Copies of this chain bind each other. A is one copy, B any other.
């Protein structure tokens, strides 16, 4: 079914139908009503691809998520998707995976769909090859990166001040009299580097020794790493973990050894994901304000898309949520 089928049945021409569909003025009320009746009869929906072709507007935006396994990011994608849909944009959400090589391919895919804008979720998108791919394939549509930086004229950033947030978290523990605070790191991303810096800065300012331990970023990985630290007899009375899931691994290791939280040991995760509230004991966590950050991404994109001004870099301040650890 096309507008011409509608036109025939309403006894008008295709362009009249088009005008009615698009609410253009200058049409006889009678005619309009007649066309609308036929439209309603079939509950007709025009082919968006065809209309995009002529109006040069696909009505679509792309959302790239770096890691599907990170539910945190997925949630952000959904928040953005929902906000964009409210403004009439359809989203193509793609999970690019960690594979840095294939990333450019996803940018190209978005370009082939002629998206009007894009949001990249995750600091790992802030790399030179992504920058090059955007320059090549999406040079003239706004690109918003969540939690990362991109040095491009069409790029916008919305970042959480993770360094400052972690600094605050470490200071909090220090103030509570903790001495031996270790930092459980995650995968090697720009975002995690920021957090680590915040920890190191806070510890050095307080004249305490730093202790950064790497993990593979998984619950089980963190659990075994932290378990062996506890079993080694090393003194630890505070933990800050790069993400909640790592903190939960540590929490479990402590729990298994009957350590009381937060008396014997205090653990703080990062992200304040749903996990935090659900763990036992409830995990204290640095809230990086995912939903606020996602909303800001959508707002920024919408602003630029609407021809309005937008901040080149928006900063979200994390806040500490103290629960039972």
Contacts and interface: CB of A to CB of B under 8 A. Distances in A.
Contacts of A112: 45-48
Q: How many copies does the complex hold?
A: 2
Contacts of A274: 71
A172 interface: no
Contacts of A136: 43
Q: What interface size band does chain A fall in?
A: 35 or more
A39 to B, nearest CB: 12
A252 B275 contact: no
B109 A95 contact: no
Nearest to A111: B45
B277 A279 contact: no
A49 interface: yes
A196 to B, nearest CB: 24
Interface in A46-62: 46-50, 52-53, 58
A170 B248 CA distance: 30
Contacts of A50: 49, 53
Interface stretch (A8-16, A73-81, A200-208, A295-303): A73-81
Interface in A76-94: 78, 81-82, 85, 90-94
Contacts of A45: 108-109, 111-112, 137
Contacts of A258: none
A93 B95 contact: no
B278 A255 contact: no
Contacts of A114: 47-49
A219 interface: yes
Nearest to A277: B219
A95 B76 CA distance: 13
A271 interface: no
Given A48-B113, A280-B251, A137 B43 contact: yes
A27 interface: no
A78 B49 contact: no
Nearest to A275: B278
A245 interface: yes
Interface of A: 43, 45-50, 52-53, 58, 68, 71, 74-75, 78, 81-82, 85, 90-95, 108-109, 111-114, 136-137, 219, 245, 248, 251-252, 255, 274-275, 277-281
22 contacts: A43-B108, A45-B108, A47-B112, A49-B58, A49-B113, A50-B53, A68-B82, A71-B74, A74-B78, A78-B95, A81-B95, A85-B94, A90-B92, A90-B109, A90-B113, A91-B92, A91-B93, A245-B278, A275-B278, A279-B279, A279-B280, A280-B280
In the A-B complex, the 9 residue pairs with the smallest Cβ-Cβ separation, listed nearest first, are A45-B112, A49-B49, A280-B280, A48-B112, A68-B78, A93-B93, A45-B111, A71-B71, A48-B113
